[in-house]
Structure 1
Amino acid sequence: MAIELDGSTFETISPSRFISFTFPNPSRSNSLLRVAVIDLPIQPTDSPQVAAMFVPAGRETDWIFSTESGHLQILFKSPGISRLTLIGKQPVDGDYSQLIYNRPLNKDSLYQKELEGRMKPLLLALSPKSLLKNGIPEIPILTYEDNVVCSLVLEKCVGSVGEMLVEDVEIESETVVGVSRKREFRRRLRFKRMPNLIQTEIRIVQESDFGSSSAGIGEVKFKPDLEVLVHPYLAPMVASLSLIGDYIEQRIRHGLRPKALCIGVGGGALLSFLRTQLGFEVTGVDEDEEVLRVARQYFGLEDDQFMHVSIGDGIKFIKKLAYPANKQKDNCYFGNGEDVSNKFDVLMVDLDSSDVRSGVSAPPLDFIRKHVLLDAILVLSDSGILTINVIPTSKSFHDELIHDLGEVFQELYKIDVGNGENFVLVATVSPIVSSIGDYDNSFLILLRSVISEAYINSIRKI
């Protein structure tokens, strides 16, 4: 639907307003620019501040730069800005060449500088009237920076979470003076509703029978590397197992395999790591059948006798396990007909509430209801733990979460992820007691060999 714009359209901030239109490219007369203007959902109390951003060349079709949700995420990450204007090349309909992206060698090209200069009159015209009362302001130009050197979209598909994409990326790695940069390749899952948020990320390596080590994205085939966790909060979640290392060691010595229940599967990186690197029997639950299909096809998730994955609501699944007399066959049995035991050594929760207008919070409020936490205790062994990835939206959210868990569980522990966003919260069914020396504990030795000991050492009792 066409929108008629006039000189008064942009005179004031209109919370949550989003307008995009095309504009003749003043630097290249035979092309068009896509201009998008988005206002913060909250009315500013002070004089509104505005900023502009030029879309990185070659990434115009990326959801981060082509959707309202992507623009809003960028705006939220720009403190103090009430209106953001994004300008980039208008993609040509049916042009899929940009599914492969290579970062331009010269990010500060003369063309970009020239375009920025020629677009200043438009940026002023798109500014609130109050910004002009003291003369002509300088509109700050923001720069979008991430670690992506090259990317290739493998598939776009649709699930209950909406549109999603799987992509392979080459990322920047740390460089050492005099040493060539080591190339790092990752596979990512992103959702269109929050395109600037990586839902799942794993390391990938070249298949052994393909090409030279100098080849990159789009030139050779890659396969998942399940021996390492690269998503920031997953290794800290695994580190929580050190709290019950003695208990797990005793189970192993008695010939019993430790058991984990994972609510929220995503790409399955956490489940696969527990299964392949630590020898757990793993049960996973996810609501989205398409996400599970993607996990199996692209992220190395494999079902076997020690890996069981089910489609369903995680909270309802826990309740069915907590009260076995009420379980329904189609919800709590797997294809091999074996019943899922209702006692796990660890319950790991990786669920979030994603809303582009309020950001990301984890876990969802529904999960920390008292009756859900009481059900969680019933599916855990007497020495079991509940491990949760937490993204607090506010101090009140944080305090309420700590209070609610403290009312139900014996002890609470916290692990700092180190990214300024997540932390891992661990709740124990029983007080932690250590009886086996670390040097005699084969499980703890194994755990320290596959994740950073810094996360284990950072565990603090609340």
Structure 2
Amino acid sequence: MVVSPELEGLRRIAPSRFVSFSFPNPFLGHASDPYADGGGGAGHLHLLLSIQFSRLILVGPELSAPSPRVVPCAARPDPDPAHARLRPLLLALCPVAAFRDNAVPDVPLLTFQDDLLLLAPVKFVTGPVVGEMVVEDVAIDNAPGPAELHRRLRFKRMPCLVQTQVRLCRSSAAAASSSLVETLEGSGGFLQPEVRGSLAQPYLQAMVAGLAVIAPYIEESIQSGVRPRCLCAGVGGGSLPMSIRVGLQFNVLGVEADGVVLDVARNHFGLVEDEFLHVHVGDAIQMIENFSRQQEPGMKFSAVMMDLDSSDAMCGVSAPPLEVIHGSVLHAARTILDQHGVLILNVIPPPADGSVYKGLIDVLRQVFSELYEIDVGNGENFVLTATVSPIDTALTDNSGHFLTELRKLAVDFLEHIRKI
């Protein structure tokens, strides 16, 4: 077997080594996904850390290849004929040890497949904090029902993680079209993000469901004419703060680290600021700590919702950042909550370390009174709700206008809340 000099180092397996290089894939005619190759070096490493293989080879399209405005994402046939044609190349990239005793190794081929039918990139921008990101409109398979049109935001540093996803409404002009492709080709003027109704991402539905544990207190506040206050640590595309402000009548303060992300939220995801919804650029954790030191009267929050993921690709997909697990941050969050307030956390435990989730639960129990959990059911996300005070009202109490509106956003996640 002849091995080129630049690939000579791949003949042996070296522990904890990461090598990245590119070569054309002759079996794909266009770049169906701008981040399909894992988003560059950081994205490659993110994938490698998420899958316990001694050697991971990623094969994707050349991003320089011309791509149509709308790309079909139909599932490839099983078995895929391209696999047989790729096999000689993959065998050439196997370490020598795989051919021990003259055996030909079996190279497993894994393909990524989601529920997308069509994909249309809308905008590429680069932020000073998150780096390159893409806004894209997609048609999602919703069988046996009709396909749904969504707009989503992804960061190149973690391409497999959809940061924000909202449903799209067709204008009357788009509704007259019988083709999804035609609708997405003209998506700039024909499609608008929905800001009412249930949230598109299940983990966000679970986060708003966490408010159910203090529903009687929120109901009482609203009935007295006082809007409950919520701090959203992490704004992204803005679907969570917009839903809480519009659907639940909260007074919302959002904090986002990257101003370009906020511009994207305003221009593409329907984020609208008004007297009851304000957003700021800054470090959300630092702002929580600053608020806790100031302790201004009348500035307490009914809820702090933390939707922050780790910015370190070495950790894989994980949330919240490890610094949140420090007791000082959680103590600061408790300080800015009112007597019946809750801290609601989106948690994605690091794939390589199951002890982090347990450690977070242990620290929350030390700082807060009660703890509730929702398993989102996607194999990744958990939502933890920590209360400042003991809850003396049963969650089965379905009365009140607030709970009625909450169910519209949270769908059936209210039934999945369990005390831990």
Q: How do 1:371-390 and structure 2 match up within 5 A?
A: 371-390=328-347
Compute the RMSD of aligned alpha carbons: 2.7
Q: Indicate which of 402, 407, 414 corresponds to 1:456.
A: 414
Corresponding residue number in structure 1 for 2:325: 368
Give the aligned partner of residue 315 of structure 1. Answer: 285
Partner of 1:148: 116
Match of residue 125 from structure 2: 157
Distance 1:73 1:437, change over 3 A: closer
Contact 2:122 2:135 in 1 (8 A): yes
The amino acid of 2:410's aligned partner reads I
Letter in 2 for 1:68: G
Report if the CA contact (8 A) 1:20-1:34 is conserved: no
CA distance in 1, matches of 2:286, 2:247: 29
Check if 1:419 corresponds to 2:378: yes
- List per-residue Cα deviations over 1:404-439 (Å, max 9, x = no partner): 111111111111111111111111111112299945
Q: Distance in 2 between matches of 1:438 and 1:313?
A: 37
Residue 370 of structure 1 aligns to which amino acid in structure 2? Answer: G
Partner of 2:19: 18
User: What's the counterpart of residue 239 of structure 2?
Assistant: 269
**Corresponding residue SS for 1:166:** strand
Aligned-partner SS, 1:87: coil
Is this contact kept in 2: 1:438–1:444, CA < 8 A?
Answer: no
* C-alpha distance in structure 1 between counterparts of 2:146 and 2:119, whole Å: 17
Which deviates the most, 276-285 or 347-356?
A: 347-356
Whether the aligned pair in 2 keeps the contact of 1:194 and 1:355 (CA below 8 Å) is: no
Contact in 2 for aligned 1:206/1:222 (Cα 8 Å): yes
Q: Is the 8 A contact 2:237 2:271 kept in 1?
A: yes
More strand by share: 1
Name the CA distance, whole Å, in 2 between partners of 1:386 and 1:424. 10
Do structure 1's residue 128 and structure 2's residue 101 form an aligned pair? no
Rg comparison, structure with higher value: 1
Q: Which residue of 1 aligns with 2:366?
A: 407
The reply on whether 1:68 has 2:69 as its aligned counterpart is: no
Output the CA distance in 2 between the equivalents of 1:342 and 1:192: 37
Q: Secondary structure at the match of 1:257?
A: coil
Partner of 2:262: 292
- Listed one character per residue, the Cα deviations across residues 125-166 of structure 1 (whole Å, up to 9, x for unaligned) are 211001111322232222221111111111111111111111
Contact 1:58 1:103 in 2 (8 A): no
What letter matches 1:316 in structure 2? Q
Residues 1:222 and 1:436: Cα distance change in structure 2 (over 3 Å): closer
In the alignment, the residues of structure 1 paired with residue 222 and residue 377 of structure 2 have an alpha-carbon distance, to the nearest angstrom, of: 32
| 1:257–1:281 CA contact under 8 A, matched in 2 | yes
Alpha-carbon distance in structure 2 between the residues aligned to 1:443 and 1:61: 41
SS at match of 2:114: coil
Q: How does 1:440-455 map to 2 (within 5 A)?
A: 440-452=399-411, 454-455=412-413
The equivalent of 2:215 in structure 1 is 245
Taking structure 1 as the reference length, what is the TM-score of the superposition?
Answer: 0.81
Aligned to 1:330: none
Which residue of the partner structure matches residue 40 of structure 1?
none
Larger RCO (CA within 8 A; separation ≥ 6): 2
Render the CA deviation track for 1:179-226: whole Å, top value 9, x for unaligned.
xx4021111111111111111111112123435252322134211012
SS where residue 403 of structure 2 aligns? helix
Moved more, 190-199 or 138-147: 138-147
Deviates more, 1:211-220 or 1:422-431: 211-220
Matched, 1:83 2:83: no
Measured against aligned partners, the alpha-carbon deviations of 1:54-102 in whole angstroms (never above 9, x if no partner) come to 7x653366222162334444444544x322233344344xx55355311
User: How many residues of Structure 1 are paired with residues of Structure 2 in the alignment?
Assistant: 406
Partner of 1:186: 150
After TM superposition, the runs of 4+ consecutive aligned structure 1 residues lying more than 6 A away are none
Q: 2:375·2:383 contact (CA, 8 Å) conserved in 1?
A: yes
The one-letter code sitting in structure 1 at the alignment partner of 2:355 is S
Q: Once the two structures are superposed, what CA deviation does each residue of 1:93-123 show, in whole Å capped at 9, x if it has no partner?
A: xx5535531135x83399x62x543443332
CA distance in 2: counterparts of 1:375 and 1:211, whole angstroms: 49
Deviation at 1:167, TM superposition (A): 0.5
Structure 2 spans left out of the alignment, 5+ residues:
none
2:142 corresponds to which residue? Answer: 173
Letter in 2 for 1:397: V
- 1:21–1:455 Cα change, 3 Å: closer
Q: Which amino acid aligns with 1:458?
A: H
How many Å separate the matches in 1 of 2:133 and 2:209? 30
How many angstroms apart in 1 are the aligned matches of 2:22 and 2:359?
44
Determine the C-alpha separation between the residues in 1 that align with 2:365 and 2:398. 32
Structure 2 letter corresponding to 1:13: I
What is the TM-score with the length of structure 2 in the denominator?
Answer: 0.88
Distance 1:117 1:255, change over 3 A: closer
Structure 1 segment 208-227 matched on structure 2, within 5 A: 208-216=172-180, 217-220=184-187, 221-227=190-196
Change in 2 beyond 3 A, CA 1:363/1:61? closer
Contact 1:262 1:283 survives alignment (8 Å): yes
CA distance in 2, matches of 1:434, 1:109: 53
Structure 2 match to 1:302: 272
Q: Decide whether aligned partners of structure 1 residues 269 and 128 sit closer, same or farther in structure 2, where only a CA change above 3 A counts.
A: same
| Inter-CA distance 133–205: structure 2 relative to 1 (3 Å threshold) | same
1:41-52 alignment runs, 5 A limit: none
CA–CA separation in structure 2 for the residues paired with 1:461 and 1:109: 43
Match in the other structure for 1:30? none
Gaps of 5+ in 1: 23-32, 36-53, 176-180, 328-339
CA distance in structure 2 between the partners assigned to 1:253 and 1:383 by the alignment: 16
Deviation for aligned residue 1:34: 4.4
- Aligned pair in 2 of structure 1 residues 116, 412: CA closer, same or farther (>3 Å)? closer
